A = this chain, B = another copy of it.
Amino acid sequence: MTHTSVEHASFTIERVFKAPPERVFRAFADPAAHDRWFVKADNWPVAEYRHDFRVGGREGGRFSQDGKTFYFNETVYLDIVENRRIISAYTMAKDDRPISASIATVELVPEGSGTRVVFTEQAAFLDGLDQVEYRRSGWEQLIGFLAAELGEKAEAA
Contact = CB atoms under 8 A, between A and B. Distances in A.
A122 interface: yes
A78 B84 contact: no
A4 interface: yes
Copy number in the complex reads: 2
Interface string A112-141: 000000001011101000000000000000
B101 A79 contact: yes
Interface in A3-58: 4, 6, 8, 10, 12, 56
Contacts of A142: none
Q: How large is the interface on A (under 10, 10 to 19, 20 to 34, 35 or more residues)?
A: 20 to 34
A65 to B, nearest CB: 24
A102 interface: yes
A115 to B, nearest CB: 13
A75 to B, nearest CB: 10
Interface string A137-157: 000000000000000000000
Given A6-B105, A76-B89, 12 more contacts: A4-B81, A4-B84, A8-B122, A10-B122, A79-B98, A79-B101, A79-B126, A89-B101, A101-B105, A103-B122, A105-B124, A122-B123
17 contacts: A2-B81, A2-B83, A4-B84, A6-B85, A6-B105, A6-B107, A8-B105, A8-B120, A10-B122, A76-B76, A76-B89, A79-B124, A79-B126, A101-B105, A102-B103, A103-B124, A120-B124
